[in-house]
């Protein structure tokens, strides 16, 4: 791999790796610089929507995911007291996608799949323990500074993609704003082998309640019987260590689904949730994708999926620019398409989804549940709901922007 690739990607998360792979497959040389000494393995996203699976399929990623992932053809919205409000059947849109389901696979099982495919590309390289700290733009060139095990090093490329996550250094050096807000509640995730399916829960279920709302996802874990991830809100004033204590998690789990004996907890973590979109995704030769460009709450699983859609959209256009088939105005189209749908769909509906779960008054809950039941009562209404919740509508909207 040359020291002067055509594109440098900051960040070997799923979005950076996928961008790099999609570029390398177009004969564009690419260097990925990653701060950490290896791929990260912490608990993060894990639900994939049909368009993401379609976009990753040509690279063989989706086929590899399907070997261990869990298909979720039906998912639920419930109320803690009323029970099931709507049971959505994704197969209602099977005429629109070859993957008419949500697919569950931990993010840290996706990244090794993409990384292995990237390893087969002679024109791609990933360097771990290389933290991008700065960059400057010149005529036709970006010079990237990185902190490496050998000290400060400089790398040159024609283009820089910042896929370096929510705290993106690339975004900060670009000088673009990151407008939005942080939710006052934090989210606590606990995983257990306990099986909730016999209690009537779908493998992906959202449970509304003014105080004790939840989201649940069955993940493959290390194999059968799989691992259920239950998400709980943590009040702003609550101490983090107290929230994560064994006693508190046992109390939350028993409060959600009482059972004999204590819950065995495999993983637990707590994190802050934001709604933010960068004021621009491009400054000259530097571009943003994934969490570096936008953040949202996880209700609806739009974050990583939106990042995957960024990666494929951006790599397609950047590949054409690198090969001289298009001028760089094509990259402004990437920004118009992806930034617009992030605002119109990802932000709009992730906020709506969370508000629906947490609606405080009986009147608000009634209105929200009536709206859902109304949508589910006809095939057309259900299909329209599924088009948005499966992100097909956002991809169609992006394609319509010229």
How many residues are recorded in the chain?
Answer: 402
The piece of 29-37, 152-160, 190-198, 319-327 that touches ligand FAD (CB under 6 A) is 29-37
* Total number of residues that touch ligand FAD (CB under 6 A): 29
CB-CB contact of 369 with 314 (8 Å): no
- Cα dihedral 220, 222, 223, 228, rounded to 10, equals -40
To ligand FAD, the closest distance from the beta carbon of 369 in angstroms equals 24
Residue number with CB closer to ligand FAD (15 or 30): 15
Q: Which of 6, 8, 14, 368 binds ligand FAD (CB under 6 A)?
A: 14
Residue number with CB closer to ligand FAD (93 or 391): 391
To ligand FAD, the closest distance from the beta carbon of 171 in angstroms equals 10
Residue located via tokens 């819950």: 263
CB-CB contact of 86 with 77 (8 Å): yes
Max distance between CA atoms of the chain, in angstroms, equals: 68
Helix or strand (DSSP H, E) at 140: none
Residue number with CB closer to ligand FAD (35 or 192): 35
Q: Does 288 bind ligand FAD (CB under 6 A)?
A: no
To ligand FAD, the closest distance from the beta carbon of 35 in angstroms equals 4
- Per-residue DSSP letter, 90: G
Q: Does 131 bind ligand FAD (CB under 6 A)?
A: yes
The piece of 27-35, 58-66, 315-323, 359-367 that touches ligand FAD (CB under 6 A) is 27-35
CB-CB contact of 47 with 75 (8 Å): no
Closest CA to 308 of 83, 92, 59, 135: 59
Q: Does 12 bind ligand FAD (CB under 6 A)?
A: yes
| Footprint (CB under 6 A) of ligand FAD, residues 242-281 | 271
Binding mask 292-331 for ligand FAD (x = CB under 6 A): ------x--x-xx--x------------------------
Determine what percent of the chain falls in helix, strand and coil, rounding each to the nearest 5: 40, 25, 35
CB-CB contact of 328 with 7 (8 Å): no
CA distances from 137 to 101, 283, 310 (A): 43, 10, 23
Binding mask 137-176 for ligand FAD (x = CB under 6 A): --------------------------xxx---x-------
Binding mask 40-79 for ligand FAD (x = CB under 6 A): x---xx----------------------------------
Cα 294 to Cα 303: distance, rounded to the nearest angstrom: 8
To ligand FAD, the closest distance from the beta carbon of 402 in angstroms equals 26
To ligand FAD, the closest distance from the beta carbon of 328 in angstroms equals 23
Residue 276 backbone dihedrals phi, psi, to 5 degrees: -145, 145
Closest CA to 214 of 182, 247, 236, 185: 185
Q: Does 107 bind ligand FAD (CB under 6 A)?
A: yes
326 burial level (CB within 10 Å; 0-12, 13-18, 19+): middle
Residue number with CB closer to ligand FAD (28 or 163): 163
CB-CB contact of 178 with 294 (8 Å): no
Q: Which of 31, 33, 61, 160 binds ligand FAD (CB under 6 A)?
A: 33
To ligand FAD, the closest distance from the beta carbon of 17 in angstroms equals 8
Residue number, nearest CB to ligand FAD:
13
CB-CB contact of 159 with 220 (8 Å): no
Which positions lie near ligand FAD, rule CB under 6 A?
Answer: 10-16, 33-36, 40, 44-45, 107, 131-132, 163-165, 169, 271, 290-291, 298, 301, 303-304, 307
């Amino acid at each position: 791999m040359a020291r002067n690739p055509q594109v440098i990607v900051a960040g070997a998360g799923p979005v950076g790796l996928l961008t790099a792979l999609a570029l390398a497959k177009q004969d564009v040389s690419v260097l990925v610089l990653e701060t950490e000494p290896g791929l990260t393995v912490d608990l993060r996203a894990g639900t994939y929507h049909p368009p993401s699976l379609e976009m990753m399929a040509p690279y063989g990623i989706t086929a590899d995911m399907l070997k261990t992932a869990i298909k979720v053809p039906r998912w639920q919205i419930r109320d803690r007291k009323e029970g099931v409000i709507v049971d959505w059947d994704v197969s209602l849109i099977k005429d629109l996608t070859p993957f008419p389901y949500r697919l569950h696979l931990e993010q840290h099982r996706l990244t090794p799949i993409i990384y292995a495919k990237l390893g087969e590309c002679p024109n791609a390289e990933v360097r771990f323990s290389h933290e991008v700290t700065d960059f400057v733009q010149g005529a036709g060139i970006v010079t990237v500074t990185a902190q490496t095990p050998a000290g400060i090093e400089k790398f040159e490329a024609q283009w820089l993609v910042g896929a370096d996550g929510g705290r993106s250094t690339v975004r900060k050096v670009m000088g673009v704003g990151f407008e939005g807000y942080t939710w006052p509640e934090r989210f606590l995730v606990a995983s257990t082998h306990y099986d909730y399916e016999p209690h009537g829960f779908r493998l992906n279920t959202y449970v509304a309640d003014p105080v004790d709302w939840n989201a649940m996802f069955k993940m493959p874990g290390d194999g059968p019987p799989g691992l259920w991830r239950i998400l709980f809100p943590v009040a702003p004033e609550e101490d983090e260590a107290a929230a994560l204590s064994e006693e508190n998690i046992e109390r939350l789990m028993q409060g959600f689904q009482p059972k004999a004996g204590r819950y065995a907890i495999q993983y637990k973590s707590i994190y802050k949730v934001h709604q933010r979109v960068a004021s621009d995704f491009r400054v000259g030769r530097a571009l943003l994708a994934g969490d570096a460009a936008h953040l949202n709450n996880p209700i609806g699983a739009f974050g990583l999926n939106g990042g995957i859609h960024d990666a494929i959209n951006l790599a397609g256009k950047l590949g054409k620019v690198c090969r001289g088939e298009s001028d760089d105005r094509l990259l402004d189209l990437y920004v118009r398409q992806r930034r617009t749908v992030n605002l119109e769909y990802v932000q709009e509906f992730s906020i709506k989804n969370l508000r629906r779960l947490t609606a405080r008054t009986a009147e608000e809950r009634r209105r929200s549940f009536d709206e859902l039941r109304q949508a589910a009562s006809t095939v057309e209404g259900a299909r329209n709901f599924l088009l948005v919740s499966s992100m097909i509508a956002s991809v169609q909207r992006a394609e319509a922007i010229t």
